[in-house]
Amino acid sequence: MFLVTVAANVVPLVGVFHLGWSAQTFAVVYAMELVVAVPFAGLKALFARRPPNYDELERPQEDNPLKSDELGGVSVGPSDLNRRRGSVTVVDSLPPIYPRNFPFVLQAFGAGVALLGIYLAVLSRFIDVPATLADPMVAASAVSLIVSQVGVINREYFRKRRYETSTPRDVIRSAKNEAGVAMVLLWFAATGGPTGALVAFVTVKLFAEWGDYRAGQSSTTDKGVGTLPPVAAPDASPTAEVRPDRRAVRGAAFWRGAKSAIGSGPVYLFAWVGLTSGSTGPVAAMVVCFGLLPAIIGGLKAIEYALTHGTLVYQRRDDAVVAYDDLTEAVQWTIPVDDLRDAELCEGEFVDRACDTRTFSLTPFVGEYDLSVAHLREYDRAVEALELPVETTAFGPLDRRVAGVAAVVGACGVAAVAALAYYAPSVGAAAAGWGGPFGVVVLRSAWQWALPAA
């Protein structure tokens, strides 16, 4: 099988050097394959049965305004969702999906968008990428890539049951590494034009296939590590239940998605350079770069947040607070009230202030991570029913001067970018690409400044 793969990747080189085939066509096809493989790896990660190695997950820096879990939306840090227990069967013919793996799906799709932008920017120096993609042969190759990816996943991942021994990070790591190495080589090979790019892609592809072949030869079928163990919650029936307010969850999900979409601005700028360097007009490029791509990143981030908080119900069972997930029908965490070291109102939740809901952070005596009871509408009743040791459920007053100035500055910035995009699309794209992340950081800092002093 490996020799067949070698032959399939050597044939394009022979055709280009000896038969006069188009190097730019093959270079674009290889680039498409590398980009497509990353989001497909993210979809595979949904089914990975083994939980991620939480020691490898990087803890976000709470005092850093460039928090990786809020800007860009492509990193995976410790969260309530990637520690989620349980699974959901969507289609009977497929294995169950694990909601805890969704942050890795977001990471894969974010990486795919970034790779797309960078590949477009580099290849556009010597290839009209949009025109090449419009070629019927290349379009057919794109369809065949998708079909072949589905076939490989079905044959190698599902039929051989590799999902049972995989972690979500392992699933996406090889695709990301292969595409990343190809990107680095492409920068150096670009001086050779389309032929240099093709040689770089083929070289990376052969090394990656060789690595996969060796890994397959030495892989084990140990299935000793499975899903997360269930939580030992009290068997008693709940004496009280409270649910997050759906409107607040949707609003918070949209807010998180918008911040992630805007924070990925430089990636869209790379895509803009690649598209406008070819035959794509500024209007079409604007729709793709500042419409479609942000919608993908922002939409996935919003779904992640909705899965994190929107499906939970908080219960009081005996002397413990229990978080039960209606989606996976599993208890997610439980903590006796006597084991709570602290419970406080989260002052910085913008959507809670807008929707008159409350989110409380629970800090146990034992345990590294805080828990949260999020977006409650009847918060006074919830605090009493769950017996949370909360000092107050009332928000402190905002510094409206800071909030007002930040709102005005933000509106002026958006208007300026829109005007630039109308009169000078390239300048507007640059302003949106670099100004978006900067604006998110500035507005977030202003919001923290406007909050009541602790």
pLDDT in tens, 287-300: 999 999 999 999 99
Give 243-262 pLDDT, tens digit per residue.
Answer: 999 999 999 999 999 999 99
**DSSP assignment of 370-415, as one string?**
-EEEEEESSHHHHHHHHT--BS--SPPPP-HHHHHHHHHHHHHHHH
Q: Max Cα separation, the chain?
A: 80
Q: What amino acid is encoded at 9 in this protein? A: N
pLDDT above 80 for 309: yes
CA atoms lying within 13 Å on the CB side of residue 361: 9
| Bigger pLDDT: 65 vs 20 | 20
DSSP structural state of residue 311: T
How many CB atoms within 10 Å of residue 18?
8
Q: Are 115 and 35 in contact (CB under 8 A)?
A: yes
Query: What tens digit of pLDDT does each residue of 331-364 get?
Result: 999 999 988 888 899 998 999 999 999 999 998 8
Sheet holding 312-317, edge to edge: 240-242, 312-317, 320-325, 330-336
Q: How is residue 325 annotated by DSSP?
A: E
Q: Say yes or no to pLDDT of 367 above 80.
A: no
- What is the residue-wise DSSP string for 101-124? GHHHHHHHHHHHHHHHHHHHHHHT
Tens-digit pLDDT profile for residues 181-220: 887 777 777 677 777 777 777 777 776 666 665 655 444 4
pLDDT at 221 over 50: no
Q: Do the bridges between strand 371-376 and strand 358-364 make them parallel or antiparallel, or are there none, so unpaired?
A: antiparallel
Please give the radius of gyration of the chain, using alpha carbons only, rounded to the nearest integer: 25
Sequence-ordered list of residues with C-beta below 8 angstroms from that of 174, at least 6 positions apart, any chain? 41, 208, 211, 212
- pLDDT tens readout for residues 423-446: 888 898 899 889 989 989 988 888
pLDDT value at residue 48: 92
Confidence band (pLDDT; 50, 70, 90) for 73? very low
Residue closest to 243 by CA, chosen among 330, 139, 324, 299: 324
Q: Which amino acid is at 410?
A: G
Answer whether 254's CB lies under 8 Å from 232's CB.
no
Question: Measured between alpha carbons, how far is 247 from 257 in angstroms, rounded to an integer?
Answer: 15
**392-421: pLDDT as tens digits:** 999 999 888 888 888 898 889 889 988 988
Per-residue pLDDT band for 33 (boundaries 50, 70, 90) equals confident
Counting Cα atoms < 13 Å in the Cβ hemisphere of 115 gives: 28
Measured CA to CA, the distance from residue 383 to residue 360 in angstroms comes to: 9
